[in-house]
Chain A
Amino acid sequence: MIGGLFIYNHKGEVLISRVYRDDIGRNAVDAFRVNVIHARQQVRSPVTNIARTSFFHVKRSNNWLAAVTKQNVNAAMVFEFLYKMCDVMAAYFGKISEENIKNNFVLIYELLDEILDFGYPQNSETGALKTFITQQGIKSQHQTKEEQSQITSQVTGQIGWQREGIKYRRNELFLDVLESVNLLMSPQGQVLSAHVSGRVVMKSYLSGMPECKFGMNDKIVIEKQGKGTADETSKSGKQSIAIDDCTFHQCVRLSKFDSECSISFIPPDEEFELMRYRTTKDIILPFRVIPLVREVGRTKLEVKVVIKSNFKPSLLAQKIEVRIPTPLNTSGVQVICMKGKAKYKASENAIVWKIKRMAGMKESQISAEIELLPTNDKKKWARPPISMNFEVPLAPSGLKVRYLKVFEPKLNYSDHDVIKWARYIGRSGIYETRC
């Protein structure tokens, strides 16, 4: 299991050091600094073995979080734990910066004591932790016996993520379908790979321990539940989508999903990620990028890029950014664009073209002349792909929320009384076109 946990700043100074196992000594702290943080070469692996000691590291805003072990631990678990630890810290004090870590080091030690025991991860749900680990000193002396046992049963309990006895005047829930659409396209416009990775994020303000049921237009779910006629299934089948794979928050009853394809759960209070999914079929590609690069002699490049929006004209895409890489020996760039603003950023070796808004079924274009310095570098320019960023108010996978039903038998509110909101946002993931 995890033998110790260290946090370093970008210089390699130790901010937090917590040792859980006897086999990890103080020299491990230095070993990682010398061999990884101060290594001359770029890091080639997130797992490093130094003298039979293994180091797992992740970086968060220039700080290094390292877990150390001498055993054959579950590597996936260690990384999941490190991410979780970052989430927990972020939930307590925001950004994981050097300053925030120093300011909260007592709290961090307290958390580390709680979420990792002898190197075994324990309950790390922020909701539960916040009930008894707080920044404002300790309330233990003021807690009643019931409160205490409530805390412990929540921390260890079957539903470790939700507190009992929450009451809201207005029962309300928000569903966000957040998708990032990823594309790799050849210069000829052939889709090399495309997939959507989506998340359904729920913000719940519901009283008590409500039982929720979530429905979407997934093919399998619909087919399984579609007890109606063949006619009906074919009708709904038109709009249904094929989800390649999905994963759920731990509140979702997986065995029920496996047997009945129904997504039922008791939600944690406030925001959480209900599910993640991935689709690869019938993806709506909101934008098409058409590049044209011409080398004029050895010292000049002509670049023309056309972007086409491909969604309903009534919808508006936002925060559009096209990044056109330029060779390292670029000496000057002249840009002309029909819409938005374009600038050559020498430090990033790219022309960045920004458009605030763009409606569907429109087209825009940029052309640039790139002057090059003559070089004797034999190696050709690698031509990195043109990448794009945007945000559209639709789900590129085609996913639709069909229902979210709430049942709370103990309290006197029904499904109808809950105010429900749903919204769809599609963002660019890695959206690249080779040129």
Chain B
Amino acid sequence: MTDSKYFTTTKKGEIFELKAELNSDKKEKKKEAVKKVIASMTVGKDVSALFPDVVNCMQTDNLELKKLVYLYLMNYAKSQPDMAIMAVNTFVKDCEDPNPLIRALAVRTMGCIRVDKITEYLCEPLRKCLKDEDPYVRKTAAVCVAKLHDINAQLVEDQGFLDTLKDLISDSNPMVVANAVAALSEIAESHPSSNLLDLNPQSINKLLTALNECTEWGQIFILDCLANYTPKDDREAQSICERVTPRLSHANSAVVLSAVKVLMKFMEMLSKDLDYYGTLLKKLAPPLVTLLSAEPELQYVALRNINLIVQKRPEVLKHEMKVFFVKYNDPIYVKLEKLDIMIRLASQANIAQVLAELKEYATEVDVDFVRKAVRAIGRCAIKVEQSAERCVSTLLDLIQTKVNYVVQEAIVVIKDIFRKYPNKYESVIATLCENLDSLDEPEARAAMIWIVGEYAERIDNADELLESFLEGFHDESTQVQLQLLTAIVKLFLKKPTETQELVQQVLSLATQDSDNPDLRDRGYIYWRLLSTDPVAAKEVVLAEKPLISEETDLIEPTLLDELICYIGTLASVYHKPPSAFVEGGRGVVHKSLPPRTASSESTESPETAPAGAPPGEQLDTVPTQGDLLGDLLNLDLGPPVSGPPLATSAVQMGAVDLLGGGLDSLIGAPSFVAPPAAAVPANLGAPMGSGLSDLFDLTSGVGTLSGSYVAPKAVWLPAMKAKGLEISGTFTRQAGSISMDLQLTNKALQVMTDFAIQFNRNSFGLAPAAPLQVHAPLSPTQTVEISLPLSTAGSVMKTEPLNSLQVAVKNNIDVFYFSTLYPLHILFVEDGKMDRQVFLATWKDIPNENEAQFQIRDCPLNAEAVSSRLQSSSIFTVARRNVEGQDMLYQSLKLTNGIWVLAELRIQPGNPSFTLSLKCRAPEVSQHVYQAYETILKN
């Protein structure tokens, strides 16, 4: 018997012929005709015109013929609803048939006919069938409720079918239970709020019992339903897990994956200290590996899921790297997924093996796969630092093959390696430059341009290289254009003299000839930056780059948690939440992992810790000094409304100045006299008026307690000049000892160790009294504060200016030099108070040409305040006189090297300008003593 002939009838007038045959008296002929109709239907021909004739054949005791007619009905009933009614009688009759197979067939088919009038008639038979004595009929009726719900949800509720369905969960037949669970789960999805499934420990127990007995498909329905349940505590979770684990040995991969889903979800509630937790983790690995010997399509589904599992719980498969090695004959989709997982599992322990494999893959045929393999090598380098060197050399080998796409991919990843390990592998740049011409993909071109721009100072012909790209500027993709613009600006900042023309060219191309708003904006920003403040431009364009992360394309944690709840389903294959690919409200309920229960909270899940951290971190990064000032201002100022904004803006202005000062020194401006922080109060003072003076009093009062005036820390060594090490600091004098307060910040990407410090010989013999002690290695972005005690016992050499100090700092990377100026008042010793008589004698003794006179302007203090403030910095008032309404203060101070300085300070009440006369045997210090006066009095 061959039925294929039905597919071949294509002649005209066929419908008429069929009509005649359908109405034939002979049973055989009728059956043949119906078969032909179904065949035509299959290939997509419209045979709806035969509807009445086919329906006429329905009344038959031949089950095969009946099934064919039903098939036809399901397809066309919707287009001919009136005529479909003709079939109702037969259905109703069949639902009463003594043969359970026929009863089930009738109720199954009726549910598939989406015609309102038919569904009305369906209710009664369905009600009977749900209580049928035969399990086969009941399991079919259970699914039928879901069908009816899809057509008319209200009807199902009104007729009370949902309750009957719920009762079936307790049915004695496991398949009826499974189908009822499936139907209820589906209905529940469209009513997310209703508690339709009503899962409780009792019903869960029933499901778990049915799980052992029903077919593989039924097990899947039940497991998928179990996964939606949230156990009330960890004990219940554990007992469910114990009863689900045997499923991991099922031959059906879907059963295994659904069981894995339940376990992964409930594990979340178990304490990690529990023995059972560890056992469970161990039990998960073998079945997952076994999935990889299934058919390729299932392997693909399994691999996509393993990808999620590895991200969620890396410990599960960490020892199973080898099973993910790619086989030569694997389908490409399996290969790509395996590769992805290999990189995720790569660690120091297995990196050698992984690299050997990756190198092998990089010579394969499939372009996508090869690209991914090359990219994987780069990712290994970034992930496992120890392997970076080998990865780079492997990549270089691959570049030598000159295979176009391999070279391009390699260059893209090398760029990332450069960013991760700056100043380490730049020796390969020359090799990269050789391949410049073969790059035709935007990503590779952009990467290469980035490299050229970033290392412009090391590439002799960087300008020529970039210029060559510039020729076809408008044909490049946006990515390349943006990169080229930045690279040329970088080049200009590094080699301004010879590249002026180039930078003008690119700026005009970007701003005047381009339609791309991003490009134009970036172009204008650079242009303005360069024309107004090249120093700022340098700071912006050549700024430190943030760290690149080790793990690329990780799934965002909340999405990952949601996807874990969808293990085995399409969502886990697409790595997207169902809402991204399912239409309407169906199945779009947002799922999330259960929280840990109270009993296990003591173990402190790692997820919660970082959540609290960020605010703390932010507090750390705010400059405390500024904050303090802001707060104080807030308290002091009368109208609080206008206060804060003014204050903050002033502080910010100060901050800008600070930056500028730092840059000046960077550019090489030889002297950098006033500590830049002094600018802050100056700026503040102007708009605030006299209200501030109290404030400053307050701060100086604090100063008296703790020692002489301390200037805020200023940046001495910017990170740019020191391969990522930034040093800022200040000098203090407290209880007779001088110290240098340093703040070291690591802005590089590698750890810094082995710090040491040394001073050049200086005027006052300042030298470190102890070695520089940085206790732990300084990891990237970390900052340490160190107070380095100084002595004045070092060797002396007069410096110019007198108070300059040249410092060398060494770490594991290099030795860096910088110079700074120290305020002289740190050298004022505490026993600098001269006896009155001696003072008079000395004053007269010192020749008049040694006297120097200075004006201290804008100092609103009175004689009392001046005296006490100076005393806290070891400038002592020996005597005080009032002459013609003026206060005359006679003061003395002694430097660490024994030089005495005598001073006469004239203060006129109401006049903020003081006159200071200094007499000293070494007149060159006078200038600096005057500056010390200024600093002390004005802060």
Which A residues form the contact surface with B (CB < 8 A)? 1, 13-17, 19-23, 26, 29, 42-47, 49, 52, 54, 56-58, 69-77, 79-83, 99, 102-106, 109-110, 113, 117-118, 120-125, 132, 135, 137-138, 140-141, 143, 145, 148-149, 151-153, 155-158, 160, 184, 192-193, 195, 197, 244-250, 253-255, 257-258, 273, 275-276, 278, 378-380, 382-385, 387, 430, 432, 434
Contacts and interface: CB of A to CB of B under 8 A. Distances in A.
Given A106-B38, A148-B99, A193-B325, A75 B332 contact: no
A257 B62 contact: no
Which residue, A75, A138, A253, A258, has most C-beta atoms of chain B within 10 A?
A: A75
Nearest to A110: B67
Interface in B312-350: 322-323, 325, 327-329, 332-333
B175 A72 contact: no
A29 B253 contact: no
Nearest first, the 3 closest Cβ-Cβ pairs linking A and B are A245-B286, A102-B4, A152-B136
A312 B489 CA distance: 74
B687 interface: no
Given A278-B290, A379-B403, A75 B363 contact: no
27 contacts: A17-B44, A44-B332, A52-B581, A69-B570, A72-B582, A80-B253, A102-B6, A102-B7, A103-B3, A106-B64, A118-B143, A122-B217, A124-B215, A137-B62, A138-B62, A155-B136, A192-B322, A192-B353, A195-B293, A195-B323, A244-B289, A250-B250, A253-B212, A254-B212, A254-B246, A255-B212, A382-B364
A123 B7 CA distance: 30
Contacts of A42: 332
Contact of A432 (B3, B175, B328, B364): B328
Interface stretch (B297-305, B515-523, B625-633): B297-305
Contacts of B761: none
B69 to A, nearest CB: 12
Dominant SS among interface residues on chain A: mixed
B328 A44 contact: no
Nearest to B213: A158
Contacts of B35: 106
Given A72-B582, A197-B293, A384-B328, A246 B249 contact: yes
B865 to A, nearest CB: 77
Contacts of A430: 327-329
A378 B405 CA distance: 12
A110 B196 CA distance: 33
A158 B253 CA distance: 21
A271 to B, nearest CB: 15
Contacts of A156: 135-136, 139, 173, 175-176
Contacts of B62: 137-138
B869 interface: no
Nearest to B360: A434
Given A29-B44, A122-B215, 18 more contacts: A71-B582, A72-B569, A72-B571, A74-B220, A74-B257, A81-B217, A106-B68, A110-B64, A118-B147, A145-B98, A156-B139, A157-B175, A160-B215, A195-B293, A244-B286, A247-B256, A255-B246, A378-B402
Given A138-B63, A140-B102, A273-B251, A105 B143 contact: no
B39 A105 contact: yes
A184 B101 CA distance: 53
B213 to A, nearest CB: 5
B289 A109 contact: no
A109 B566 contact: no
B135 A153 contact: yes
| Range of interface residues on B (Cβ < 8 Å) | 35 or more
B383 to A, nearest CB: 22
Contacts of B290: 244-247, 276, 278
Contact of A382 (B44, B252, B363): B363
Nearest to B66: A138
B333 A45 contact: yes
B297 A58 contact: yes
A26 B42 CA distance: 10
Given A79-B298, A106-B64, A276 B325 contact: no
Given A14-B44, A273-B251, A379-B403, A83 B7 contact: no
A134 B572 CA distance: 39
Contact of A379 (B70, B111, B257, B401): B401
Contact of B42 (A15, A248, A258, A379): A15
B485 interface: no
A397 B404 CA distance: 45
Nearest to A197: B293
A113 B67 contact: yes
A188 to B, nearest CB: 11
A133 to B, nearest CB: 9
A44 B333 contact: yes
